[in-house]
Structure 1
Amino acid sequence: MLSQMGQTLETMMFTFHEFAGDKRYLREEHLRVLMEKESPGFLENQIDPLAVDKIMKGPRPVPRGQSGLPELLLSISGLTITCNDYFVIHMKQKGKT
């Protein structure tokens, strides 16, 4: 039985392959659709609305316009950090940290 973290990693991997056209890469527009469909709250709750575009257009070891699983995971990590920054500010405003 997988841990919660293991289930999350498995879900990310299967979700990538569900959206990937050739099973190795996502086109950039499909990465955006994946993020909008699977994580709408992450994209809506940004302090810097351009943060998502900066993260998704960052340096890539694969051809421009494509994303492999490693790039998806880097994008998710960047979005998680950005959302955590928002969450910390929100919690401070509520006096919970």
Structure 2
Amino acid sequence: MPTQLEVAMDTMIQIFHRYSCKEGDRFKLNKGELKQLLQRELTEFLSCQKDPQLVDKIMQDLDANKDNEVDFNEFVVMVAALTVACNDYFVEQLKKKGKK
């Protein structure tokens, strides 16, 4: 029976490939595929954002090799950065509650 972390890793891989296989290189996300993934899988994150250029900015930030596509390694960087940001927020909220 897989551990929760193994299930989480498998889920990330499956989600990436669910979107990457739609157009062009089936092992990379183009801008449209990335946008779909963000809209469907990070709905809460996007709903808090007001910047209409957000997907373009994320694409530029993630596309380390500047090929106008996001490969799995670049995708994992995004997920890791968002996870760290969420953890930082969670820790700050706990600290605020502890001061009361």
The residue that corresponds to 2:67 in the other structure is 63
* Corresponding residue to 1:90 among 69, 85, 93: 93
Give the drift of 1:78. Answer: 0.7
**Gaps spanning 5+ residues in structure 1: where?**
none
Aligned partner of residue 73 in structure 1, secondary structure = helix
CA deviation after TM superposition for structure 1 residue 43, in Å: 4.5
Matches within 5 A, 1:2-81: 2-20=2-20, 21=22, 22-43=25-46, 56-58=59-61, 60-61=64-65, 63-64=67-68, 66-81=69-84
Q: State whether residues 31 and 72 of structure 1, in contact with CA within 8 Å, keep that contact through their aligned partners in structure 2.
A: no
Give me the whole-angstrom Cα distance separating, in 2, the residues matched to 1:36 and 1:94.
32
Larger Rg: 2
- Quote the sequence identity (%): 33
Distance change in 2, residues 1:90/1:69 (3 Å) = same
**Two-structure CA RMSD over aligned residues (Å):** 2.6
After TM superposition, the structure 1 stretch with the greater mean CA deviation from structure 2, 85-94 or 67-76, is 85-94
Unaligned segments of structure 2, at least 5 residues: none
Greater relative CO (CA pairs within 8 A, separation 6+) = 1
Cα deviations by residue, 1:49-68 (Å, 9 ceiling, x for unpaired)? 8xx7666532512512x101
* CA distance in 2 between partners of 1:45 and 1:85 (Å): 17
Q: Secondary structure at the match of 2:98?
A: coil
